[in-house]
Chain A
Amino acid sequence: MGEFAQQLNRIATFAERFMENVGKVIVGRKDAIELILVALLCEGHVLIEDVPGTGKTMLAKTTARSINCNFQRIQCTPDLLPSDITGIHYFSQKTSEFEFRPGPIMANIVLADEINRATPRTQSSLLECMQEQQVTVDLETIPLPRPFLLIATQNPVELEGTFPLPEAQLDRFLMKITMGYPGEDEEDTILKRFHQENPLASLSSVIEAEELLVLQKLSRQAYVEESVRRYLLAIIRATREHKSIELGASPRASLSLDLASRVLATVRGRSYVIPDDVKYLAPPILGHRLIEKPEAKLRKHSTEAVLEEILAQIPVPVEQ
């Protein structure tokens, strides 16, 4: 762990530079920026959900711009086809052969804007890309470039003409981030900052894609003490046994929470995970994976409230 402790500086420096860079465009919301950084280092996909105009797309674009890599944007609409995302084989008259034209998914960072406006058929074309980081077109399997990160946004209030994401797809998102409205001072800063020009236009990258891959490997090496792991598992188990929850967190969720906790620890300059990391990450990582029972929905008992309740009940391992 000694050598790893030395490497921690690299991750911490990158984290600091990344947060500062994104902070030039996104005012406040340091927690959301930190979460997206964790997702980036976990190579996990992010679903940003909030009402229109709160900076979802801006956050995704700023994240992509902060990394020197390919970026593509997909504007999801009901008439979007799976082949519009994955790419197609077309007949080239020059070579008299079928050639593959890659779709926008063949990029390092992909922004799927308003993902719930795409049809279930198109949404499901993303499943293989998200989990296996490859795409199969006409029996041909093509690996996606690394690092690969899908950032999807959706609007929770406007439901007309939308298709809710299926559970299988929600489970493939590492975390769900909500932006929320800025405070009065923050909004004042936004007005001043965007008065003359969009700061995104002059934003430079802070890391190369290759360097990011190295940091991704490094950040997974944080140590998880047994009692902390047991605490994490107790949270997961509690979601499966809670009276208001129909479907609890999956083993994929526990893996995600474990990985994200390790990464968050390194981002915060630690070589070991503490219960605070697990507690902090449980709502964004588990919240969107839980399905409430109908009666809980009727009682307006949200999954966030359930998670809050669970976290307020599970003892934290402190004294030995």
Chain B
Amino acid sequence: MKTGWPRIALYITIIGMESCWLFAILSLVSGLVLQGQLSIISLLALYPIAFGINKTIAQFKLAKVYLNLISWSIWAGAMLLLVKLQIYSSLGLWDQSWLKEIPVALRQAPYDFRPEVLLFIGSIIIWWLGQRLVHLKADFPKLIVEFQFGMPVLIVTFIIGSYFTGVLEHAVLIAVAFFAFALSGLSIGHAQQTAGSISQIYRGRWLGILITGISLVIVLGLLSGSTVNPDFFERILNTAKWAWEVAKRALIWVASLLPTSPPTEIPAAGEMPGEILREPAGSGIFGMPQWIRSIIKFALFINIAFWCIFALWRASGQMLNWLNQRLAGMAGIKTESLSGAFKSDVTRLVKRILTKFLIFLLKRLGRKTRVLSPELASIQQIYCQMVRWATARGCPRHPTQTAYEYQISLVNLLPDFHEEFSLITRQFVGVRYGGLTPGKDELLNLRQSWERIRKVRRGHPS
């Protein structure tokens, strides 16, 4: 096989793309199960090593069985080295007690997911990918397939990650890196072919164009990642509100020009309930019970997920059609159709995710035997809103923090609201663990406290 530097670059881009989604998945698992104890980067460093070693081994004129045996023996050594360096680095060089821990960890994996298990499974996958890459032809169609596969995987991982705070902290960087690798790989692959604008008049300068393109993608990605945040959306919302106010005034002015009917007697307005009393306790949407709301929420989630996948599907289809049209005249170029293996894989994946989610939801619904009264549900809602509010302000609740421990963090965040935090936490604890029903006055106090806290803008506690 010809191994010019463009082909090496293609291999690097494939490794890069696969590393991005692997990094996202491994970070998610590590963050959820192991509280981010492991360094995923060092685990991913195994990928180029696996590729290099397998490529070297493939040069030997040996039977496939022996080649595999050599390859996987090296994997075992590399995996042990990773375990030693990442988990048992404090032990002495000749202390072998950690070796016994690996089979124990694997045996206990169904009950206790330990870092050793993630390193074991992760290194197997990475080694297999490295081995697979040796036998792949790195060209434009292959890059398209890699992009097709990697993008949905990344999106699904980000969607799952968005449900857990602080697990996927580098999502923007991962996405930027993935697209940078994908775009550079696709353009190199495209330029390798005989057709295409870069391969013709700009062939001599395509490397410069490529580097500029990648730099632009990275810079724009980082810029949008740092700009698009809750503040940014709040500003957009404020602008929209302002525009709506202007439009409303204009309409009122236009309406004032029209002839008016004689004034009618307006009945005296009753006492307006406060904003917080407008929503009855725990009733939410049209006074529905909590369990119906859970089902509606689930249905909405399914609906959104369906439309996202459908949109992705349509976009991929359009892209492929366009590519097919563009490449129609090129010899030796093959593109996989969406109705092929990829379609069945995606369908199977979606089905499996939905089934698992449905089972999880049914289990949860079955376990919730205690039906909360509207007052109690309302207190829980307020507490959850407070947690989300504080999380958005950089004070998330650690899963191992109790409500009172978290209260200390909240008071540190806004010392002036000590009383309010204390009241909400106390009432929540009484409801959550004691099933205590608060009086109307207490409930009102609680809501007013929450309103006072909610009105505090970021960095302006007053």
Contacts and interface: CB of A to CB of B under 8 A. Distances in A.
Interface in A281-300: 295, 299
Contact of B405 (A271, A272, A276): A276
Given A270-B434, A319-B384, A276 B35 contact: no
16 contacts: A225-B434, A225-B435, A243-B101, A243-B104, A243-B105, A243-B114, A270-B434, A272-B436, A276-B405, A295-B97, A312-B400, A316-B399, A316-B402, A318-B403, A320-B368, A320-B432
Interface residues of A, number: 24
Interface in B427-450: 429-430, 432-436
A187 interface: no
B402 A318 contact: yes
Contact of B435 (A223, A270, A274, A311): A223
Interface of A: 223, 225, 228, 241, 243, 270-276, 279, 295, 299, 311-316, 318-320
B413 to A, nearest CB: 17
Given A241-B111, A295-B97, A319-B384, A223 B434 contact: yes
Given A241-B111, A319-B383, A271 B434 contact: yes
A81 to B, nearest CB: 44
Contacts of A228: 433
A203 B434 CA distance: 37
Contacts of A315: 399-400
Q: Which of A273, A314, A320 has the most CB of B within 10 A?
A: A320
Closest 9 pairs between A and B when the two form their complex, measured CB to CB:
A272-B434, A315-B399, A225-B433, A276-B402, A275-B402, A274-B433, A295-B97, A316-B402, A272-B433
Interface string B384-399: 1001000000000101
Contacts of B261: none
A103 B104 CA distance: 50
Contacts of B264: none
Nearest to B377: A320
Given A276-B404, A313-B35, A319 B433 contact: no
Interface in B93-115: 97, 101, 104-105, 108, 111-112, 114
A274 B111 CA distance: 26
A224 to B, nearest CB: 8
Interface string B222-261: 0000000000000000000000000000000000000000
B368 A274 contact: no
A225 B397 CA distance: 21
B33 to A, nearest CB: 10
Nearest to B91: A299
Given A295-B97, A320-B368, A273 B433 contact: yes
A271 to B, nearest CB: 6
Nearest to A242: B112
Contacts of A241: 108, 111-112
A241 B401 CA distance: 22
B54 interface: no
A295 B96 CA distance: 11
Contact of B400 (A243, A274, A299, A311): A311
Nearest to A271: B434
B398 to A, nearest CB: 9
B123 to A, nearest CB: 20
B380 interface: yes
B402 A313 contact: no
Nearest to A222: B434
Interface string B20-45: 00000000000000010000000000
Nearest to B434: A272
